[in-house]
Amino acid sequence: MFIIHYRKVFYAIAILLVGFSIFSIAKFGLNYGIDFKGGTIIEVHYTQNASSTDMMSNEQIRTALQSQNLGEVIVRQAGENGYIIRTKALSEIERKAVVATLGGEVKRFDSVGPVLGDELKGKAVWSIILVILAIVLFITYVFRHVSRPIASWKYGAVAIIALLHDVLIPTGIFAFMGRNGGYEIDALFVTALLVILGFSVHDTIVVFDRTRENLRINSNKKTFSQIVGESITQTLSRSINTSLTTMLSLLALYFFGPETTKNFSLVLILGIAVGTYSSIFVGSPLLVTLEKWQSKKK
């Protein structure tokens, strides 16, 4: 009952985080990767035994490539002996010139045109919208027999609020961190958001399902707020343990995994954290708030 009693405090925290995220997106915008805006990404590594004359520095790479009229060049360290380089979309001639300039071992070379990037951006937005819509329809259908004290469609409405919370906060944090070009919105970011949606709604449905079961057993003995509070308590350890074990694996991937998966794992860590928060402290308490508003109108 602690969570239900102090639900307004938890709402305030969620509103502050969402407000910060919306402000970050509006203020700094989204730093799109080459998947969405087009361009080329190159990952080059030098051997452990490379001499200082063989291995180019960050500044040397940037100066050498800018002299080839490649426009903006972004160079980022990848491990002790490698770099990830982003440039405009390169032609075959430009690609050969860049590879010759860099030396070392080119482990990755991806190029995406701006038209394909715009198409992918549109598909990414639609995929998130359709997933959220499918989840809401599924929840409404599954809880169709739950009509007291609130209608089944309200479970779906609460799920939408929780899912928007779970998508907006990681996106806002990445907008804030990407203002200096370090964190990008790419196809892996969208994939991570879709994973977060699935993870979060699964956690939310577990609490909703326990509420539905407790309503069937105790609807005439306890108030709705008591039933929801007990349902959260009964599923609390399961939600936290599942999230913690998943996040431990993702932390290992973030700190010890390859450079290309760092942003992906970071999005998942953030999303699972806020998703767990929303399923425990936002989603189910909102059911109680809706029930109280409904009672006041009668």
Give the pLDDT score at 297. 61
pLDDT of 174 > 80? The answer is yes
Instruction: State how beta strands 39-45 and 105-112 pair.
Output: antiparallel
pLDDT (tens digit, 9 = 90+) per residue, 138-156?
A: 877 877 776 577 777 888 8
Give the pLDDT score at 246. 92
Which of the pair, 233 or 140, is modelled with greater confidence? 233
Provide the pLDDT confidence category of residue 49 given band limits of 50, 70 and 90. low
Instruction: List C-alpha distances in Å: 175 to 30, 62, 167, 276, 281.
Output: 5, 24, 12, 22, 25
Task: Report the share of the chain in percent with pLDDT over 90.
Answer: 23
Q: What 3-state DSSP class applies to 160?
A: helix
Of 110, 105, 99, 104, nearest in space to 56 by CA = 104
What global pTM score does this model have? 0.79
Show the domains of the chain with their CATH numbers.
Answer: 2-33+116-297 (1.20.1640.10), 39-112 (3.30.70.3400)
Report the first-to-last Cα separation within the chain, whole angstroms: 25
Give the pLDDT score at 245. 94
Give the pLDDT score at 267. 94
